[in-house]
Structure 1
Amino acid sequence: MMNRPLFALIFALIAILALAAMWWGWRARARRDAGVVGAPSAPSGERLAHFPMVTYVSTTPVGEPLVRVSAPGLRYRGRAEVSVFQGGITIEVTGEAPVHIPLAQVRGSGSAGVRVGKAVERDGLALLRWEADGRELESSFRFDHATEQREFTAAIDALSSGEPPTDFTHTTQEDAR
């Protein structure tokens, strides 16, 4: 029969091994995705839309919604500020460095219900499709209000299609209510 101290020691060793494996895996993912970066400076042009309180969920490869990309500035889920400019998009996740995606890397928008880190109703997540380091990516966002999600999608679609921007308003949290 196993005594309590021996059982506690075995359990602690298993827990330490599991945590070490998770740490090693995350570091390997961060090294793999280190080349996924946007532009070094903010996009140029007029700001078409601004979303000061959005939940950034994750960035995944297109077609792989459960594989997180550990890109600098987009590693962790959190509250974010997203701005859409004529020259691209800026994503500022709280506690992370801002990510600037130039217009040339923007591929369009979309919606989803499931991404790594979040499952919501059908089409409850807004997607930003973009390219970096030769990879097609999707960054997902959860908006507090459906009007914000529609405005985000319209702004992204206008950018990616090359159409002149339509009448987007500068959104604030109070405007969306």
Structure 2
Amino acid sequence: MWRSWRRRTVRDETLAAYAPPADPGTTTLEVEALYVATTPEGDPLERLAVEGLAFRGSARVEVHRKGVLLRIAGELPSFIPADRIAAAGTATYAIDRGVEPEGLVALTWIVDDRSEPEVPSRVDSYLRCRYPGDSARFVAAVNEIAAAPEAPQPEAEESEASDD
């Protein structure tokens, strides 16, 4: 297990959340949650060792106009700017956590990838809100500020067949 974790941290050493701004602005929503994991977008069973988001733990999550601030026990605070947030939605499972339908919140965002800054890497960060109703409020608050550009779509190859 130690070897696989070490390999993962080396593989993901260029990935990080963003440093919190000096003044993130007014808090529009604050929730208590269990931070579960961060995975590549659409691959909830492949954990990433993103700096500041590598370990599961209790968290206080704040939504601000400028972005989302995650304060996870044992980690430095991590910030996700609004222009890096694609969307938030619900999920049922992520690596090491399966819950009732829509029991997790998935926050899709563009990670700070220091090795490939021109190629945005999208990830999903999973949270389990502690109190009833917080998940829906969190998803709504995040989607209100989400401003990341759409993910690039592969270009469709034009058919060489003619319509003769």
- Structure 2 counterpart of 1:108: 87
Identify the residue that residue 126 of structure 1 maps to in structure 2.
Answer: 105
Identity %: 31
For structure 2, the 5+ residue unaligned runs are 114-119, 149-164
How far does residue 161 in structure 1 lie from its aligned partner after superposition? 5.3
With 36-45 and 118-127 compared, the bigger mean Cα shift is at 36-45
- CA distance in structure 2 between the partners assigned to 1:38 and 1:72 by the alignment: 7
Taking the aligned partners of 2:56 and 2:37, their CA distance within structure 1 comes to 6
Return the TM-score normalized by structure 2.
0.80
Q: How far did residue 146 of structure 1 move?
A: 2.9
Specify the code of the residue in structure 2 equivalent to 1:123: E
1:68 maps to what in 2?
A: 47
- Higher-strand-fraction structure: 2
Detail structure 1 runs of 4+ shifted over 6 Å in the superposition: none
| 1:79-98 Cα deviation digits (max 9, x unpaired) | 00101111111111101111
**TM-align CA RMSD:** 1.5
- Answer whether contact 2:27 2:64 (CA < 8 A) is retained: yes
Map of 1:50 onto structure 2: 30
Equivalent in 128, 131, 139 of residue 153 of structure 1 = 139
Q: Which residue of 2 aligns with 1:15?
A: none
Q: Does the CA-based 8 Å contact 1:65-1:115 persist in structure 2?
A: yes
Matches within 5 A, 1:76-91: 76-91=55-70
Q: Which is higher, the Rg of structure 1 or of structure 2?
A: 1
Count of matched residue positions in the alignment of Structure 1 and Structure 2: 140
CA distance in 1, matches of 2:50, 2:97: 18
Scaled by the length of structure 1, the TM-score of the pair is 0.74
Alignment deviations for residues 41-62 of structure 1 (CA, whole Å, 9 cap, x no partner):
33632211111x2111111111
Is the counterpart of residue 27 in structure 1 residue 6 in structure 2? Answer: yes
Q: 1:126 to 1:115 in 2, by over 3 A?
A: same
Q: Check whether the contact 2:90–2:104 (CA below 8 A) recurs between aligned residues.
A: yes
Q: Any gaps of 5 or more consecutive residues in structure 1?
A: 1-21, 163-177
